[in-house]
Amino acid sequence: MSSIFNIIHIAATALKTHKEVVSVVGHNIANAQTPGYSRQEALRTAILGSRGGVRIAQEIPLGEKGGGVQVMQIINHRSQVLDSLYRRELQAHKMNENLTDFLLQVQGFFNEPSDEGLGGLINEFWNSFLDLSNDPENMAAREIIKQQTTKLTNMFHRLDRSFHDMVEKIDEQVARTPDVINGITKEIARINQVLRIQGENRSTANDLLDRRELLIDELAEYGDTIVNYHRDNSVTVVFGDNVVVDKEAQFKMSAVGSISQETHLRRTILQDHVGTEYDIERGKLGAMINIRDVELPRLISTFDDIAEALVELVNSTHSGGYGLDGSTGDDFFDPNKTNASTISLSEAIKGDIRRIAVSFDGNPGDNQIALAISELRGAKILEGGKYTLADYYNSTITEIGAKTKEAISGMENQKFLVDQLENSRQSIQGVSIDEELITLIESQHIYQAAAHLISVVDEMLDDLINIKR
């Protein structure tokens, strides 16, 4: 009789086990398109010996019958190596993606190639003096110089304002980032706590593991992220050079508003709980910080240099000439406004265009000063005499174009690598509906067979009972 009841026990373990297998399959199918989900599998093992339980081979007498089947563990399939590689390339991709976005915006500020861009306006400025040199007493030509100069200075102002507005816009985004980062790290620390407790209870929490890995992926989009895994199922997460999660402890990021002493621009500092500044080179934050602290200040400085050189160059020649009214010693540009944000016509010229100097000797028909100013377009006065104003401006535009092209290329290359690594990850952790259906059908057949086995044993018991009667 004991052997018959053992058969019932074996069949019962099969029913229980494959019911659990079907449950896991159903969970996989339900989450086939869930972001971050990794395929789960019920690992089965034979129960050694008819007495059941966990027993080592030496404890089982030779010839003892098996005890059925049981689910040993429910695991999820994923690769920490591929996760690490994916995040590294994701950081680089997000950095280039954001750099591309910002640099394309900067390129749009210049409105080049166009006659309405700064390069075209500088060229028209020189041409207007050349036209006046051909007819020194022409009032209409003087008015054109005033109008052309106003358009030129307005373009300087617009570019400078655009650069400063972008600095402020990016800085605001940087200042809001700690709320996002802290939200992510808080949840990671909470999951660490739950996983540690469940680990001590010898249970698994695969869905929580998936959620934590997805959160780490999100964190990696913002900057340099390194993860260290511990045996108690918890992790330590390093963001930049700073620990943000250590097992169950979260270390918050904070934003501190400041003004750069070097550029006098807004610069929100991101620091940890002890005041150490984050050093972030990649990801969204790396791109924003690079644009805010390096690229835009460099552009602001470049256009300040162009404006200052233009003011000094023109004023030095103009002040030595005579206007149509006999005035001399007048500056063409306001000498106290020598950067891109303030460059302006002098009050003297604004008030009376006859004071625009054309003559060298005071003779109304002389054109030497106007001609000399028009020829300043070829003067190499920037970078130690290496560049004319046009050359310096064009080299800046070319440099921005080259950086944009490099960022686009980097973005596309990194996107390819990210996609390749994601495909590799999905080949391990992704759910294949076809494979799950095969497992489902197999478990269904085994379940039906086990149920039939119980029916057969029941009939056998009836026969035994009838024999005894």
Q: What is the pLDDT of residue 57?
A: 46
Do 147 and 37 have their domain in common?
Answer: no
- In this predicted model, which residue has the larger pLDDT, 58 or 271? 271
Residue (of 422, 437, 455) closest to 83 by Cα position: 422
> Encoding tokens for residue 171?
């800085």
Is 425 a member of any domain? Answer: no
Do 443 and 351 have their domain in common?
Answer: no
Is 423 a member of any domain? Answer: no
pLDDT band at 54 (very low <50, low <70, confident <90, very high): very low
User: By percentage, how much of the chain surpasses pLDDT 70?
Assistant: 93
Average of per-residue pLDDT across 14-18: 91
Residues 187/189/195/199 CA torsion (nearest 10 deg): 180
Do 128 and 201 have their domain in common?
Answer: yes
What is the per-residue pLDDT across 194-211, written as a single tens digit (0 to 9) for each? 988 876 554 468 899 999
Do 103 and 130 have their domain in common?
Answer: yes
Q: What is the pLDDT of residue 31?
A: 93
Do 31 and 100 have their domain in common?
Answer: no
- Count Cβ neighbours within 10 Å for each residue of 68-94 and write b for 16 or more, e otherwise: bbbbeebbbebeeebbebbbbbbbbbb
Average of per-residue pLDDT across 46-68: 60
Number of domains in the chain: 2
Do 140 and 32 have their domain in common?
Answer: no
pLDDT band at 5 (very low <50, low <70, confident <90, very high): confident
Beta bridge partners, 359, equal 322
Do 70 and 115 have their domain in common?
Answer: no
Do 50 and 92 have their domain in common?
Answer: no
Q: Which helix (H) or strand (E) is 441 found in, with range?
A: helix 433-468
Domain that holds residue 72: 2-77+431-468
What's 294's DSSP letter?
I
β-pairing, 40-46 with 69-76?
antiparallel
Residue-averaged pLDDT of the chain: 89
351 torsion bin: left (phi>0), alpha (psi -120 to 50), beta (else)? alpha
What is the per-residue pLDDT across 61-102, written as a single tens digit (0 to 9) for each? 545 567 889 998 888 999 999 999 999 999 999 999 999 999
Do 435 and 412 have their domain in common?
Answer: no
Identify residue 134 by its one-letter amino acid code. Answer: N
Q: Strand, helix or coil at 135?
A: coil
What is the per-residue pLDDT across 414-436, written as a single tens digit (0 to 9) for each? 999 999 999 999 999 999 999 99
Is 426 a member of any domain? Answer: no
Answer whether residue 141 shows pLDDT above 90: yes
Do 320 and 458 have their domain in common?
Answer: no
Do 184 and 130 have their domain in common?
Answer: yes
Answer whether residue 244 shows pLDDT above 50: yes
Those residues whose C-beta lies under 8 Å from the C-beta of residue 440, and which sit 6 or more positions away, are 22, 25
